Amino acid sequence: MILDRLGKELIYFDGGTGTLLQERGLKPGELPETWSLERADDMIDIARQYYEAGSDIVLSNTFGANALKFHDSRHELDEIVKAAIENVRKGAKLGVKDGREIYVGLDIGPTGKLLKPMGDLDFEDAYQAFAEVARLGEEAGADLIHIETMSDTYEVKAAVLAAKENTSLPVFATMIFDDKGKLLTGGDVPSVVAMLEGLRVDALGINCGMGPEQMMPILDEILQYASVPVIVKPNAGLPKQKDGEVYYDVEPEEFGRFMAEILKRGASLIGGCCGTTPAHIRAMVEATKDQRDITDRPGKEFKNRTIVSSYGRAVELGGKPMIIGERINPTGKKKFKQALKDHDIDYILREAISQQDAGAHILDVNVGLPDIDEPSLMREVVQELQSVTSLPLQIDTVDISALEAAMRIYNGKPMVNSVNGKQSSMDAVFPLIKKYGGVVVGLTLDEDGIPATAEGRVKVAGKIIEEAKKYGIDKKDIVIDVLCMTISSEPTGAITTLEALRQVREKYGVCAVLGVSNISFGLPYRPAVNSNFYTMAMQSGLSAGIINPLSEDMMRSYYSFCALMNYDENCEKYIEQYGSQKVQAVTPATKAEMTLKTAIEKGLKEEAHHITAELVKDKAPLDIINEELIPALDQVGKGFEKGTVFLPQLLMSADAAKIAFAVLKDELAKSGESEQAKDKVILATVKGDIHDIGKNIVKVLLENYSFDVIDLGKDVPPEEIVETAIKEDVRLVGLSALMTTTVVSMEETIRQLRKKKPECKVMVGGAVLNQDYSDMIGADFYGKDAMQSVYYAQQLFGGEK
């Protein structure tokens, strides 16, 4: 079993497949997976060569073999998967002569689509597509499942769950990061590692997108967070071109030297991706064969880090105290209760945004009310919240069905509030933490109630920690709440809580959380008591307080404490908050107070519609566009470039702007005014490539900047693009490609455009491209991200960046 070797012995993967197929005659637009049936001898020979080169794992030719991506009327999906696995197995028989233990890996790649809310693919539909191929792979005899080249945490979660729930095979997952350590959808290394380890993958890492040298800083960061074995599969450097042929600039011997360094840094499984060949793998094996015992290698030690995450942000507990915003909770809140009854989702979103703006790091989410379908509403609210905020969420419910519904579709590693020392509670909650991953709050109460003493609560905490071990849940994923009782009825309540807090931290080394405001129930001027107790709790080791971040008193205590304890370097945050203006309490923006610019920046669609409808009563539509809409989109775009705004927020802002534009368009039609004629832009994913995520993102943004986008779709022949450009007299064409096997089509499209419509400019983008390659194929502009493409279009058509 490969699991017996993981972390103890260096494991070798194979290298790239696409470039080898091209060398053997794969045509642009031809589905590589069909070769498993139509060119089986070639696939067997490729597997043989990799095993002969020293690979322990060779992957099946199934990267695009899923129902959402593979469409071929001649072959059924089950035939393709079965043949692909059999071909690798046959290659092993021919290529392995030394009797060593080898493995056949089922290769699972991305669907090529964005999941909701960013795209149109439902999470469960993605799950079903991955589940089908996973089952087929296991039935065909695969030894493990390798999910790779993923750029979206949500999609990889669907794939991992599908593999885990539908097979008994080991599951590996690797992501494609950019040079800043970010995924396409905004995820960073800590958030990715936290989620994948929470989902119990057997190994994780990075593949594709860059060469071995460029991957080293990303690997170093992964090793700071990952406790499971780490996989590294670089490209053979960067793509180049000579005499019309694509090649990569890292030769086998140099690749071997780089991979020896990657091994030394702490990788446990190494191989190659695009551009690597059996020669590269042979050189890699030769350079590392004397270092296969990795038992004592650096980077393999257990990482005792308590991390919760969203799709794009990780929050680590245990150092500087963190703030959990408490306002998305109906307890004691009449307006919030009414919003839940009225299904006023925008009210909930405004509460989230106001807490984020006020300084919260995590948001508690509780929607429990009698006569409400809590599982359905919790699921919806979590999805909607994740479309407007990148803050991690704490799922707060006693309804186990609601908890599972939310955890399943949550994009990241959530905080879960809560489990307690009752056996029934632990039996219900711990299986969900094991399955979906999460940091769970453990309440120190059990069948006998809440212990009156600090020692009693510490004992319950120990009981929770020990029971969690039975499920493989480490104490780093448990945060203890020693509970605080109101001092109005229990005079020693604060003293007991603070002592229990200190003891739990010292005895078990776990993080701790408290619902701070409970301390003051029944007392006048509660903020004074709450804020002072909050400071005392932080001094006693509180890792995160569940508080109202809109409370001036609480936030003053927080910023003061952080400054005094040197958590706030040079008192920068304190000065930022209190240095230049009189302190005022923050309140959530109401519909009447919110501006259209704010609604768009925050991605609030209903608010954008309502505010625009009011504005047009007194203001010209074109003035609203120029003074409100475009500045808002520019602000969001700048945030995206700086890394302070993530892709989901960018797209939600675009949706809000689209709704506002629709209102204004109707008003323009009524008044007889007309919009300025729109400049046309063609977008297409090139022939042979069926990945259109990047193209679709650029389309949304261009349309919101008033460009007329002609979307030709994916797998588009050069001739169709050229004909459309001539027919529509288009001055700008945008081309996208994800696969290295299809960049030749991109170059051919540019060549034809230069010949038949030379005045037309071409911008290109995609994971396999870079500035050098863009220059080599003759493009006019390389769009590193979607906003760069918008700025180029504005410049070309006379606008300003």
Query: Which residue numbers belong to the known binding site?
Result: 208, 273-274
| 515 half-sphere exposure, CB direction, 13 A CA radius | 20
Write out the binding residues for Zn(2+): 208, 273-274
What span, in angstroms and rounded, lies between the C-alpha atoms of 208 and 221?
17
Structure tokens at 676: 């300025």
In 3D space, the residue among 765, 762, 792, 766 whose CA is nearest the CA of residue 778 turns out to be 762
Tokens of 615: 């504005």
In whole angstroms, what is the distance from residue 280 CA to residue 288 CA? 12
Phi then psi dihedrals of residue 705, to 5 deg:
-95, 20
Cis, bond preceding 418 (omega within 30 deg of 0): yes
603 close to 653: Cβ distance less than 8 angstroms:
yes
* Cβ proximity of 481 and 515 under 8 Å: yes
Report the C-alpha gap between 739 and 686 in whole angstroms: 10
Tell me if residue 322 falls in helix, strand or coil. Answer: strand
The residues, any chain, with a CB within 8 Å of residue 798's CB and separated by 6 or more, are none
How far is residue 691's CA from residue 693's CA, in Å, rounded to a whole number?
6
The C-alpha atoms of residue 449 and residue 458 are separated, in whole angstroms, by 14
Spatial neighbors of 330 by CB under 8 A, at least 6 apart, are 336, 337, 340, 366, 367, 368, 369
Task: Classify strands 306-309 and 314-317 as parallel, antiparallel or unpaired.
Answer: antiparallel
Phi and psi (nearest 5°) for 49? -60, -40
Residue 613 phi, psi dihedral angles, 5° rounding = -60, -35
- Looking up tokens 């501006």 gives 595
Distance CA 244, CA 376 (A): 55
Contacts of 42 (CB under 8 A, 6+ apart): 21, 24, 35
Answer whether 742's CB lies under 8 Å from 686's CB.
yes
Tokens, residue 325: 């915003």
CB 215 within 8 A of CB 258: no
Q: How many residues does the chain have?
A: 801
- Which tokens belong to 108? 């699972």
